Structure 1
Amino acid sequence: MHILLDGGHREEVRFKSLDEFRQWYGQEVAPKVTSEELVKVPMKTGQGEFMVVRPAKINGIRVEPVYSSSVDRY
């Protein structure tokens, strides 16, 4: 998934499944869509890394499937 933010910034975030993305979006982002409150974005780096965003500053979200047969699998 790519989060497109105000100011032209773009962040890539990976979810294990579409259902995991839908759950995060439905619980964290959608209810606070106009909020300036920070919400946590889950990062799957395994290094304790995390990111927070303001839902009101998200201009778009692009969901890109990654198939298990992809050569560039992480």
Structure 2
Amino acid sequence: MPRTPNEYIIHILMESGHREEVRFPTIQEFQKWYSGELVPKAASHDFISVPIKNIQGEYMVVRPSRIVALRVEPVFSSSVERYQ
């Protein structure tokens, strides 16, 4: 039986070399943000909001035109937690 990830870590790699990480509870929530917010404004130099749901009171904005890559990493409850 295939395992189901507990969450997805999205690694955002910027043109400047900076890397950011955000977490989504489901792949569908990531796809909704990606297709509804990021893709339509991909060439834009205006800031868009990146949802950070696991850190209350904190937010992040990015310029979509400066994102060069996204890496989607599924995290399973049996995975070793590397980010604490």
Normalised to the residue count of structure 1, the TM-score between the two structures is 0.90
**Structure number having the greater strand percentage:** 2
For these two proteins, the number of residue pairs brought into alignment is: 74
Listed as ranges, the gaps of 5+ residues in structure 1 are none
Matched, 1:9 2:37: no
Compute the RMSD of aligned alpha carbons: 1.6
Residue in structure 2 matched with residue 33 of structure 1 by the alignment: 42
Q: Distance in 1 between matches of 2:26 and 2:56?
A: 20
Listed as ranges, the gaps of 5+ residues in structure 2 are 1-9
Q: Distance in 1 between matches of 2:35 and 2:79?
A: 28
* Per-residue deviation, 1:15: 0.5
| Moved segments of 4+, more than 6 Å | none
The one-letter amino acid paired with 2:20 is E
**Structure number having the greater helix percentage:** 1
Which of the two has higher C-alpha Rg? 2
Q: Which deviates more, 37-46 or 47-56?
A: 37-46
Normalised to the residue count of structure 2, the TM-score between the two structures is 0.80
The one-letter amino acid paired with 1:61 is L
The one-letter amino acid paired with 2:53 is K
**Residue identity (%):** 55
